[in-house]
Amino acid sequence: MVGNKAVVYVGPGEVEVRDIGFPDLVLRDGPGVNPLNVGRKCEHGVILKVVTTNICGSDQHMVRGRTTAPSGLVLGHEITGEIIEVGRDVEFLKKGDLVSVPFNIACGRCRTCKKGDTHVCLNVNPDRPGSAYGYVDMGGWVGGQSEYVMVPYADFQLLKFPDKDQAMEKIRDLTMLSDIFPTGYHGAVSAGVTTGSTVYVAGAGPVGLAAAHSAQLLGASVVIVGDLNEERLAQARSFGCETVNLSLHDNLGEQIEQILGVPEVDCAIDCVGFEAHGHGKNHTEAPATVLNSIMEVTSVGGRLGIPGLYVTGDPGAIDDDAKIGSLKIRIGLGWAKAHTFVTGQTPVMRYHYQLMKSILSGKAQIAKAVNATVISLDEAPQGYNYFDKGAARKFVLDPHGLVK
C-alpha cells in the first residue's frame, strides 16, 4: 500500500510531517472535516501526484495559532500535480495530465459558480459560501502539502498545462497559479490598476510582491511597497518597486510624497490582513492599521483591493472585538472619499488561464518576483519557521524531487 506523507498542524508554532494514508475519491472524516461533508463521494474528482505545493501566509496564520484550526489538520491549498487516477464522471482529463489546482473549491453548478464567483461556491462548504483545501472552517477538504491529494470537480476546476515538458521548465512560476499570482493580480485588478496608475501595496510578503508585479504587468507607472521588514523590501526593489520602511516612518503619506511629489496614490492594495502592525519604531499589533492607512493615502474616488485575509475567529487577537473580526475601521473616511472596497477570496479561475499564458510567453516573472525557493516536503517545518521569521522567500515544497 502506498503511503502519503503530509504536513500537519499540531498546535501553535508546530507542524509535523506525518503519513495520512493514500487518498481516495471520498471525503473521509478527519480533523476539521465538517460532519455534513463526511462520506461525500467525488467520482467527479481525480487523485494527483503532487509536483509542487507552496507554503502560504494564510497557512502561517493557522500555524501561529491565530485561527480556530484543529490539531491534526492537513495543511496546504496551493497545489500543482499530475493526474494518476480519474473518477468515473471525469470526461475531459486523463492520467498523466499536469494541472494547476485553484485553491477555491467550486462545483461549477451553483448560482455563484455560474456567475464566475467560484470563490463563494454554495455547494462545497456547509458552514458558509466558499471553500479551500487544508483550511479552517472551509468544509474540511484535505490539504495538499502532501505527496498525493484528492481534488473534486476536476473537469470544471483544473487548469491543464498544454505541454508537460515546457511546464516543468517553468514549474517555479506555474506553481504560483494555484493562489498567490491570481490573488496578487486580483488585488491589483480590484484596485483598478491600469496604464499610468500610481499604486501603493501594503505588505512585501509573497502576496504583496505578487500584487506589485501584477500592477507592473497591468501598466502602473509607479508601484510603492510598504513593509516593516527591510529584507522583504529589498526583494521588492529587486524588480523595480519603490519602497517605504514602515518600521522607520510612521507617516505613510509623507513617504509617498517624497516619491511622487504628492501624498497620495491612485489606488492601493492590502496584502497584510488581520495581523497588521502599526507604523514606527515601537510598532505593535493594530489590525485596522492597513485598512485605515490605505484610505488615507488613496485619492478621492479611488479603489482599494483587499486580498489580505481577515477572519471571523482569532483567539490570539488583541481585544475581544478583534477576536470576532470587528475592527476600528474609519469607514467615514472611505465614504467621504467615495472609495470602492473589494474584499474576499480570489476567484482563481477568473485569471489563471491568462496568467499561465503570460508565464509561458516569458512576460510574467513571478517566481523571480517572490523569490521562489524549492525545498523538500520533509523540510516543511523548517520552511514554516523561516517564513514566520520574515524570510523574503516563497517556499515551494517538492514532495517527489521532481523539480530541477
Please list the pLDDT of the chain residue by residue as tens digits (404 residues): 589 999 999 999 999 999 999 999 999 999 999 999 999 999 999 999 999 999 999 999 999 999 999 999 999 999 999 999 999 999 999 999 999 999 999 999 999 999 999 999 999 999 999 999 999 999 999 999 999 999 999 999 999 999 999 999 999 999 999 999 999 999 999 999 999 999 999 999 999 999 999 999 999 999 999 999 999 999 999 999 999 999 998 899 999 999 999 999 999 999 999 999 999 888 999 999 999 999 999 999 999 999 999 998 899 999 999 999 999 999 999 999 999 999 999 999 999 999 999 999 999 999 999 999 999 999 999 999 999 999 999 999 999 999 98
SS3 state of residue 70? coil
How confident is the model at residue 1, as a pLDDT?
54
Rg (CA), the chain: 20
- Amino acid identity, position 248: L
**What pLDDT does residue 287 have?**
93
Question: What's residue 282's pLDDT?
Answer: 86
pLDDT at 341: 95
Instruction: State whether the Cα torsion 278-13-185-111 is positive or negative.
Output: negative
Strands (E), 311-377: 340-343, 372-375
Q: Which domains does the chain have, with CATH numbers?
A: 5-179+347-397 (3.90.180.10), 183-343 (3.40.50.720)
List pLDDT tens digits, range 257-314: 999 999 999 999 999 999 999 998 889 999 999 999 999 999 999 999 999 999 988 9
Confidence at residue 64, expressed as pLDDT on a 0 to 100 scale:
93
The count of other CB atoms within 10 Å of the CB of residue 36 is: 12
pLDDT value of residue 2: 80
pTM confidence score: 0.96
Amino acid present at 32? G
What are 326's three cell numbers?
470587528
